[in-house]
Structure 1
Amino acid sequence: MSAGPSHLVLLLGAGGISPDAALAAAGAVTTEVSVVWYQGGTPAATVERVREHWKRTFDGAWLTTDDHHRIPDLLADLHRRRPVHGVATFGEPLIVAQAEAQQRLGLPGNPPETVRTAQSKLAQRRRLREAGVERIRFREIRGEADIPAAATEVGFPAVLKPVHGAASFLVTKVADEAELRRRLREALAAYRESPLFDPEPLFVLEQLLVGDAWYEEPGFGDYVSVESLVEDGRITHVAITDKLPLDGFVETGDVMPTSLPEARRRQVLDHAGRIIEAMGIRWGATHLELKLTPDGPACIELNARLGGPIGHLLRAAGGSDIEADIMRLALGRPAEGRYPSVRYALYRSVPPPNEAVTLVRQTSREELLAAFPQLVFCKTRFAPGAELHPDRPYNILTFLVTGEDVRTSLDAAERVVDSYRAEFAPLAADGRQPSPAPTS
């Protein structure tokens, strides 16, 4: 490595934590930071503001591309001019490009095929079955011709989900073969129209995982996530995140530290370690969701990256900066965080309606922040007049509260949700606003 500051490249512009948060975390690790900005629809004014922030703070290069396949070539060219010591990203669309660049430049990272496996719900199931870690029944579905074999192998009730998906979109429970056929037709139509997916539809039918009551107090869902850091194959579990009950298959909230009894925590962490090892993750962060079943924890899915609100939760609960540790791991350095939990932190989200609507009016974030001092942050994603579509399932409100105990945090979050008001008007099939009065 260079005797001077390590040269870190950030891949930004495709989701994950905010660019400002990524730059702040990088600044805790090095002063030499280059950026590859993926031009995926971020407003030009926002990009320019981020670039000015970067320019004032770091020494490095600013590169742009609208083709993520070009990123390894861009970094190889940059490396010849200015040796690169690490590559980091937080956006799911760019983690394969990150792995390809790391492999090409001989930098710490996961093999690209490992990352592709982590992105595929079907490949994950195959890997865990081959490794003998889990025996969940599943079957690939490309079209209606695959339904009879899938129904025979998996049985009912079952869950149909896209192999590559986001935000639980098109994940649905099916009770029998007739419902499976109907849901698959609907999903195929929605899949081809949604900007969240690759053009080629591919689904997996999975055995329905049935949760059990693992908690000694009410208010929690029947699944958790495990947040871990991996340094050259050595796994450090940072936290278990409790979940609020699902809305269908849509997540509504996260809480840390966990309220699971100690014996249950050990079960969860032991199984998480086996899954991460079987998946072949060698470097970086993982976000693993586990169903809490009568037979023990079972994998829902693993992400080879930091989970959405996890950085916020860890900072609010104990002041730790996991994003900076991810930067350190990208540079081949050990993580430095200790991850204590000195208070409870709860992240809550409010999903949009299930039909196409226009947001007419809503309680502003300023009103909510003024009314609730427990709020660490609060974000309303859409302004009045915005059209909301079910094929773009972004939450209309997200916020984080803290408390000295879990019950105080749960109660505070419910009061915030109860105080938030949003009114919607349905959109006609042609997208025009109809005349009926808005509905709440």
Structure 2
Amino acid sequence: MATNLRSPTTRAALVDAYSAGNLLVPALNREGVECVHVRSPEPDVNMVKLKFPDGFVDDIRHEGDLAATAAALREWGIGCVIAGGESGVELADQLNAELGTPGNGMSRPTCRRNKYEMVLAVRDAGLPHAATVVSPDADEIIEWAETTAGYPVVLKPVSSAGQDNVMACASAEEVRAAHDKIRSSTNRQGQSNTVVLAQEFLAGTEYFVNTVSRDGQHHTAEIWRYCKRRIPGGHIIHDYVEPLSPDDPDAQEVEFYSHRILDALEIHNGAAHAEIMMTADGPVLVECAGRLGGGAAPQILSRSMAANQIDLIALSVARPDEFHQLPTSLHRLLRHTLYVHLINPNDHGIAPSHEDMGVIRALPSWAHTVLMHPEGARLTRTIDFPSQPGYVILISDDPVQLRADYEKLREIERVLYTGYPVSEQPRPIRPDR
């Protein structure tokens, strides 16, 4: 049952605000809400490398004693605890339960991180779900694939994020290789992968739905369509994503299903990022995270989107009564947008400089760039989110210009990570090219 606390909050705690969560600090400060940071014992090993934001009034390190951390937050008069990233999801839920502040249901406390528990919660709610098994034994998964699911199957860690070791396998040999790779590695929180999760391959078009909830009332900020690539080794990487228009035939069906998923996972308060495959039989959950969607850039996306999760969370915390008066569906497109993931196709590479990126900034629809690695850093081939060089947001009133700039960006990438100067300036590309 949703926690029905409607009073505004003047101080909030953010757990592991190293990535998208760090954008919440200025947004909450603008609403008059002070922020305290909580560091979990096992933050995302990739995100802790990013710049830590200013604006926190305190920085508390959680050492494993929930009561002690909750007591420290009580001294600050904390009114809610928010997951600043994937590694903060479970601790934020636990702290809200300990403090009695607006949080998420705790009848299945691990279902918002453990992907097997997630599937079970969705199944028990009577919603469509992917056939799934979890096992430490590759042979058991192979037998399941060959007798039940069929190839290809998707293997991934049970608890991780950002495409971490997500691999599509088309044979027993590929399953065994992927299983060994996952079992011999740690997830993005530095935890050993003792078991491997396998799911049926969902064919169709994949979307993600970003929502913000308060007291069990859900509001949709954005719906986006994924375009992905399968690359050698079974890895699946993001190419680009594009926002979905509210009048798209799939929009209402995907949105309705996503809100039922939130109920099944007891996500009553805060942000969620649900990835959903629209199959021939309808929407099926890929996975759902109880935190902000990655790569949020509200100051940029406000040029093309009517709503964003960052500002909605700030409103739900500071002015919950106003938040509850909003319509359920807030997503609306103002301009055409592409969110392009940079891809290094080479086994080696060098992170580009600001000067190198000038040729991309000169594209007519360029709006924003985020680089994930410092200039001159060694790059590996892009196989997941941590190994991507960064991302670029393109915005235009003209969909033809947008597509031309995307194609030009991919041309530029052919030499962008080689360390050689990128001297060619972008030229207009004819629409019929």
For the criterion TM > 0.5, the same-fold answer is: yes
Confirm or deny: 8 A CA contact 2:9 2:317 kept in the other structure. Answer: no
1:239 aligns with 2:222: yes
1:212-234: CA deviations, max 9, x gaps? xxxxxxxxxx2111122222112
Q: In structure 2, what is the equivalent of residue 116 of structure 1?
A: 110
Query: Residue in 2 aligned with 1:219?
Result: none
Q: 2:303 maps to which residue?
A: 316
Partner Cα distance (1:332, 1:150) in 2: 50
Distance 1:283 1:405, change over 3 A: farther
Query: Which residue of structure 1 lines up, in the alignment, with residue 192 of structure 2?
Result: 199
TM score, norm. by length of structure 1: 0.79
**Are 1:168 and 2:163 matched, yes or no?**
yes
The answer (yes or no) to whether the contact 1:76–1:101 under 8 Å persists in 2 is no
User: Which deviates the most, 140-149 or 103-112?
Assistant: 140-149
* Pair 1:9-2:13 in alignment: yes
The alignment covers a number of residue pairs equal to: 400
Are positions 1:185 and 2:180 aligned together? yes
Match of 1:283 among 269, 291, 299: 269
Higher helix share: 1
Q: Which residue of 2 aligns with 1:153?
A: 148
Greater shift, 306-315 or 127-136, is seen at 306-315
The separation in 2 between residues aligned to 1:132 and 1:366, in whole angstroms, is 49
Contact 2:152/2:200 (8 A) holds in 1:
yes
Deviation at 1:402, TM superposition (A): 0.7
> Would the alpha carbon gap of residues 12 and 316 (structure 1) be closer, same or farther in structure 2, given more than 3 Å must change?
farther
Aligned to 1:305: 291
Which residue of structure 1 lines up, in the alignment, with residue 79 of structure 2?
85
Shift of the 261–327 alpha-carbon distance from structure 1 to 2, 3 Å rule, reads closer
Distance 1:394 1:241, change over 3 A: same
Q: Could you give the per-residue CA deviations for residues 133-162 of structure 1, whole angstroms, max 9, x where no partner exists? A: 115322112123533553333332211121
Q: Does 1:382 align with 2:350?
A: no
- Matched with 1:428 is none
Cα gap change, 1:127 to 1:380, in 2 (>3 Å): same
Matched residues in 1 for 2:8 and 2:216: separation?
Answer: 27
Cα distance 1:169–1:75, how it changes in 2: closer, same or farther (>3 A)? same
Matched residue, 2:428: none
User: Equivalents in 2 of 1:178, 1:44: separation in Å?
Assistant: 35
CA contact (8 A) 1:188 1:201 kept: yes
Match of 1:254 in 2: 241
Shift of 1:367: 0.9
Note closer, same or farther for the CA distance 1:358–1:125 as it changes in structure 2 (3 Å cut). Answer: same
- 1:177 is displaced (CA, Å) by 2.7
* Percent identity for Structure 1 against Structure 2: 18
The match for 1:216 is: none
| Aligned counterpart, 1:372 | 363
Work out which of the residue numbers 210, 224, 227 in structure 2 matches 1:227.
210
CA distance in 1, matches of 2:175, 2:73: 50
Please report how far the alpha carbon of residue 382 of structure 1 lies from its aligned counterpart in structure 2 after TM superposition.
Answer: 2.5
From 27, 30, 45, give the equivalent of 1:28: 30
Task: Supply the AA of the counterpart residue of 1:277.
Answer: D
* CA distance 1:321–1:188, shift in 2 (3 Å): closer
Letter of the 1:62 partner, please give it: D
Structure 2 Cα separation of the partners of residues 328 and 63 of structure 1: 23
- Provide Cα deviations, 1:244-293, integer angstroms capped at 9, x if missing partner: 2334411122212x158643222222222222222221111211111121
Equivalent residue for 1:139, pick from 104, 110, 133: 133
Query: Which residue is equivalent to 2:426?
Result: none
TM-score (norm 2): 0.80
Residue equivalent to 1:63: 59
Of 397, 416, 420, the residue aligned with 1:422 is 416
Q: Does 1:359 align with 2:350?
A: yes
